[in-house]
Structure 1
């Protein structure tokens, strides 16, 4: 939501500075994302007069201008604008000035052999509009040498406020002014609306159908209008907040959308076929919208239709067929109320984002229909002329419920209980009164523009935010005497260990959205949890995996120049009827840095992913010594370069490896990335013991190692051989690891293993070592391996 300081002062009598206003807005819950002043960016630019305009000696389409900037003698400027001529007044940018529309800093330069010491600017180059056919031409009385921003009245700070979805009233300047006045930063200016005298009935039939999503529709015919460009003050206001002026009639509707959070619409009556009906869409209805795109209406949409069919999506976007233009003389003004849930669903379904949708889906003031019709009619008559008819007001059965007065129970003591603020009841009531609430014997009646107020806690929030969250005292919680008892759960402790371990291993933590698109979810088995009211079509499914978010985050980092990305996230997957705590990681890029000691960088491999998965499982308390590696982790993973880590054939603790090439291709994932997921809820809980940790008991005798080299048949994994060798003597053998792999071209695979033997209370004899070696070889031979000679 953007507005200018002068626009705010139309509603609020205040002398506060822009910074004071921004600070107060943020303090009362309306976060200000930025305050910009166009005059600051355009400070170097001056009003200048073209003294002479001569043909460029080396270019037919260029002219060499002599320009009076009001500062010393004439300045030579090379210009290609067709409207540049002697005697005209324009806007001059000197060397050193930054031109925002071209992202260029001016300097003295030779253009086709002729020196140019500055630039005569167009509207688009100064980001004041889209016109670029020629340079800006000012009025003949513009003062030469004056600052252009000051002359053009551009020194009007623009506020950009991030309005939360529960504040429909703050989508209008009047609602923001009301909040500031309630917070003591000025006085709200009354703006009475006079009823327009009407001399004839509205000849356009208007009807709304029950269940259409439109509960009320007010329409008024204004005939004999003249639709042309809107006045400069209106165009400047719309441009300042990022809207493009179109025509007087359209600009008026856009004005009230920003000014009063009330979207309006106008129809060219001569283009209508019959009357207006608000109803549900019908299959096969297709119309061209004002954004030059065609849409197919559905039975779930609320459409505005005439006898020819749908001519717009109610509350979202109008149709081109009935749009006003310079030839419009008779116009139908629409002011309606649409059900927020219908508007939100329609906008998402058709992927249309408009200012009207943003306001209707939050919930506009239903009682503002009549005054807004009168205010808009008055402005139309003021700027375009015309005679107004009586207002036709059509409603459905649901309208009575929409405008019904609601009383919310409220106890003043709840302000201290919920917000920690001790305020006298009279002060609480005064705050609510300034916000438009009415105190009754049964509670509080919210104003019609606050449809978000639902319960007592909402009332407390209003009192607290106007009082100021920064004024809430810091009160420590009571604490019992003695040593505090541990409060962290097992899952919280596990997640903390995982975070520390992952960070220590060089992974960076990422926090990604829990909502993903249907396409992303389908690649990971499909989403089972769907949002009834998603933020957008791309965020409508609760994630079945943490990897889509990490893939997107890794790609963003690579796009910004990162050469090695190592990310992890601890969060929840949403499958079945519950949430599943999960840890995931993703690595892509250089597996090691380029350095004279480490040699050439390499890509990450599935073995790197396995190392991370095992380390994280160990940190989570999993019995890693008992883990078994099962190849092929499923359709998400590369069929030959992935695996799962399990406790037995059914209990899967983790999956790791390279992503499936199809997934990488279809979802634009980074090439060469490896990843893994740790299923924390599958890790068996450790048995409780009376000690916090086992006592440190180092072995009294030195361990010994023995090396074995086996020729291993195809289909037998190194992990299977390791497990067999460990099982030869579970008490004495404490570790088995592969330290060498050899396979000549076309030859058999040879694996070399180092076995660690740990004696207990006395050293091993030669006979005992020989016996254990024999059992180790026998265990490997049961798998088909043979001792290499």
Structure 2
């Protein structure tokens, strides 16, 4: 938001300097990004009055004009046809520099010396019109005065960064209120006088999309003369970065900057019968004022008549209704459009205008009728038109906000200050709030333009802003305040530490990925219809993505980790082990699911240069990868789990498993499905694990467990058995543990074999059982007794066969 110092000084009726204004704004929480000194871009242009006008004796298309420059008479030869005796005009003398960069010199034209040149609006930078000389009809232009001096040779423009919750500051009046509050000054804006009439407008208004437009106001100005704006309006717009066009359009821009509410002027002669605010049709085409063609959809709001669209609501008008030099009647629009619709349309089409920026932030509604009345009077005044006072309105104005009760003690409690009740009351009143004392509290009514004020804490912030943040004391706590982390964060940090300490590197990736990456990772079907159904039912799309690469939320940690893996492999880095803890997102039955997941990948060598390891142990394998997690569970005090083959489709169906604890699937690990490797064009197999963090944390009970080491020797017994191919080792182990043998210290698996000599539906497993007592050396009889109990239980419950007993 740009605002000039001269404009602020005018409406506050006070001579301000740039340092004072900058300090006040900064202390009020409004960031001043830059202050630019600006000057008029022309010089040596003097205001003169034509006292004589004759045809050139030797040229049919030239005129000889004498102009009074305040006691000094200059003769100028010109081809302009819009001059007559008595006109007040800008005169560029010898040595003048114009806005176009042209340097003026004395020259003879058909034998007569011309001592300067009359200036058109285009040559002074006041518009595009160069068809005639600019006529200055304002009493501020005194004969003989330098035009730049009258307009203000030097000014300062403030470039402000406006907070998103303060749309009222997107205006000169809004910024002036903040300055006026500190300096005890009131904002004063002079109204315009014009011809008026009480006739009803022939153009009626109808809102067909009430969710997109709360209220729409339209006013008719008849008999306007479209011409360049006065230098005062044109120069003021130039300073804030707006290019002057003509007096009607410039008035709408002027009022938008002054009050912060965008307006739009239609050529009334180009409107067919009525104004209709409606949804755009899908694939509706509209040509905008800048000549660009846009394709709309039903989420866009358009202004239309009975023939079609004439404007893209809140963003830009259409070329088929623009103001031109032939315009005689103007229909002026002021409305409140839904800021969400405007933001979506603006971003989708890539069109950002001063109007859309303001609508996106949200506009206050109560003063719209006053703003359109002011703008209509201004247009009628500068264009010699007739204002028809009857305003066409459709829509319902929202109810005003409720009062807020504020206890003075709460202000000081939050801020740590000692402000008196009078200080608090005056602070709020100076900022435009109505404050009424009620017993020990204040009843505060917010001004209509302060949409950000919702609760008492907002009023506390206003008091702090007005009084100055420098008045809030900086104090240290009276006693040490030890920091702490929530238990969940503490546990997640322990999980990260474990993997970091075991050779894995933590990565941090973006939650937003591309749809292409999702398609490459989700391999449920090659059928396009099934794939489309899956995506529609499970993948969460971003409504307004910044790019296609960030258009959906990740569905697992495999997607970002695979991207990371591929990036390393492309750079000839083949030994990789990474992990990441983050959120994944899924859509299930039209509801959104968000869960914490730990993803971990490994491929290549387990260590850098593992020269002392056997060849078969140098690289990652399924069992070495699985062992990492077995040790991980043990480090957290979990020693019992079941192994399941029920894993996600992202894993290799034969080289994967799941860890189930207390009937909950906590972990899935395995080699990544070869189809995913093919989709990602990765030639090196790798292992992936996903730990369901929320389920894992629910299992944790941290206890200090005392382990007593026996001084007596251990004894081992091996059991070779035939079991069904469907029986997992974890089931065998659990059956043995259910016996609660007091001398059984450990169970381990020595061998698994399938093949020659073993029935096709069976497999051979050899277990090693270690027995030890804390009280004595065990006898052979005691160990044999327990071995027999174990074998009997396994036979009864799992139907095993002891290999030595099989013929």
Range into which the TM-score falls when normalised by the shorter chain: 0.5 to 0.7
Gaps of 5+ in 1: 40-88, 92-152
How far has the Cα of 1:590 moved from its partner? 6.1
Matches within 5 A, 1:324-403: 331-338=330-337, 340=339, 356-370=355-369, 372-373=371-372, 376=375, 387=385, 389-396=387-394, 398-399=396-397, 401-402=398-399
Write the distance in 2 (CA, Å) between the matches of 1:317 and 1:745. 81
CA distance in 2, matches of 1:181, 1:603: 73
Is 1:678–2:653 an aligned residue pair? Answer: no
Q: Which of 638, 650, 659 is matched with 1:624 structurally?
A: 638
Question: Cα 1:238–1:774, aligned 2, differ >3 Å: closer, same or farther?
Answer: farther
User: For the structure 1 residues 363 and 686, does the alpha-carbon distance in structure 2 shift closer, same or farther, using more than 3 Å as the test?
Assistant: closer
Q: What secondary structure does 1:463 align onto?
A: helix
Q: Residues 80-133 of structure 1: CA distance to partner in whole angstroms, max 9, x if unpaired? A: xxxxxxxxx999xxxxxxxxxxxxxxxxxxxxxxxxxxxxxxxxxxxxxxxxxx
For residues 332-359 of structure 1, the C-alpha deviation after alignment (integer angstroms, 9 at most, x for no partner) is: 3322223557757877999987654553
SS class of match (1:169): helix
Q: Distance in 2 between matches of 1:668 and 1:238?
A: 52
SS at match of 1:263: coil
Give the length in aligned residue pairs: 646
Deviation of 1:320 (Å): 4.9
* SS of structure 2 residue aligned to 1:359: helix
Give the C-alpha shift of residue 446 in structure 1.
Answer: 0.9
Whole-Å Cα distance in 2 between the matches of residues 746 and 435 of structure 1? 93
Q: Which residue of 2 aligns with 1:567?
A: 580
Instruction: Say whether residues 1:195 and 2:205 are aligned partners.
Output: no
The residue number in structure 2 matching 1:83 is none
Residue 567 (structure 1) shift: 1.6
Deviation at 1:197, TM superposition (A): 1.0
Contact 2:282 2:297 in 1 (8 A): yes
Partner Cα distance (1:556, 1:175) in 2: 49
Q: Aligned equivalents of 1:602 and 1:385: distance in 2?
A: 87
Residue 422 (1) aligns with residue 433 (2)? no
| Within-5 A mapping of 1:62-101 | none
Cα distance in structure 2, aligned partners of 1:581 and 1:523: 18
Query: Aligned ranges for residues 156-305 of structure 1 at < 5 Å?
Result: 159=159, 161=161, 163-164=163-164, 166-172=165-171, 174-176=173-175, 178-179=177-178, 182=181, 184=182, 190-199=187-196, 203-209=201-207, 212=210, 213-221=213-221, 223-226=224-227, 234=237, 237-238=240-241, 257=256, 260-278=259-277, 280-281=278-279, 286-288=284-286, 290=288, 292-297=293-298, 303-305=302-304
Which residue does the alignment assign to 1:307? 306
- 2-structure distance, mates of 1:328, 1:594: 80
Residues 232-288 of structure 1 deviation map (CA, whole Å, 9 limit, x = unaligned): 87456338xxxx99988767656655664322223343432222233x438679342
Deviation at 1:311, TM superposition (A): 3.7
Report the secondary structure of 1:432's partner residue. Answer: helix
- Decide whether the 8 Å contact of 2:177 with 2:186 is kept in 1: no
Q: Please give the alpha-carbon distance, in whole angstroms, between the structure 2 residues aligned to 1:778 and 1:630.
A: 25
Task: Choose the corresponding residue for 2:704, options 689, 693, 696.
Answer: 693
The CA distance in 2 between the partners of 1:235 and 1:701, in whole Å, is: 96
Residues 199 and 180 of structure 1: CA distance in aligned 2, closer, same or farther (over 3 Å): closer
Q: Which residue of 2 aligns with 1:24?
A: 27
CA deviation after TM superposition for structure 1 residue 156, in Å: 7.7
User: Do the aligned partners of 1:3 and 1:158 also contact (CA within 8 Å) in 2?
Assistant: yes
Residues 655 and 221 of structure 1, relative CA distance in 2, 3 Å threshold: farther
Q: Answer yes or no: is the 8 Å Cα contact 1:340–1:361 preserved in 2.
A: yes
Distance 2:176 2:204 in 1: 35
SS at 2:666's partner residue? strand
Q: SS where residue 366 of structure 1 aligns?
A: coil
C-alpha distance 254-733 of structure 1, shift in aligned 2 (>3 A): farther
**Alpha-carbon separation, structure 2, partners of 1:310 and 1:510:** 48
Name the CA distance, whole Å, in 2 between partners of 1:736 and 1:474. 64
Q: Does 1:410 align with 2:406?
A: yes
SS at structure 1 position matched to 2:639: helix
Aligned to 1:98: none
> What secondary structure sits across from 2:241 in the alignment?
helix
Equivalence for 1:130 = none
TM-score (norm 1): 0.61
- 1:458 aligned onto 2:458: yes
State how far apart, in whole Å, the 2-side matches of 1:358 and 1:571 are: 33
Partner SS, residue 364 of structure 1: coil
Partners of 1:608 and 1:17 in 2: CA distance: 70
- 436, 440, 446: which one aligns with 1:440: 436
Cα pair 1:437 1:445 within 8 Å, conserved? yes
**CA apart distance, 1:617:** 5.7
Residue 659 of structure 2 corresponds to 645
- TM-score, L = length of structure 2: 0.60
Question: Residues 653 and 31 of structure 1: is their aligned pair in 2 closer, same or farther, counting only changes over 3 Å?
Answer: farther
Partner of 1:113 in structure 2? none
- 1:225 and 1:475 map into 2 onto residues whose CA distance is 63
- 258 and 567 in structure 1: CA distance in 2 versus 1, 3 angstrom threshold: farther
Contact 2:180 2:186 in 1 (8 A): no
Measured in 1, the distance between the counterparts of 2:158 and 2:674 equals 49
CA gap of 1:651–1:292, structure 2 versus 1, over 3 A, is same
CA distance in 2, matches of 1:754, 1:155: 92
Deviation string for 1:495-534 (max 9, x for gaps)?
Answer: 56445546655464859779999x989969957999xxx9
Contact 2:721 2:765 in 1 (8 A): yes
Contact 1:586 1:673 in 2 (8 A): no
Following superposition, the deviation at residue 460 of structure 1 comes to: 2.2
Alignment partners' CA distance in 1, 2:673 and 2:536 = 13
Displacement after TM superposition at 1:447 (Å): 0.9
Gaps of 5+ in 2: 39-98, 102-152, 523-532
Corresponding residue SS for 2:19: coil
Q: CA deviation at 1:768?
A: 5.8
Distance in 1 between the 2:506 and 2:344 partners? 37
Partner-residue secondary structure (3-state), 1:423: coil
- The answer (yes or no) to whether the contact 2:642–2:730 under 8 Å persists in 1 is yes
From the superposition, tell whether residues 479 and 461 of structure 1 become closer, same or farther in structure 2 (CA, over 3 Å): same
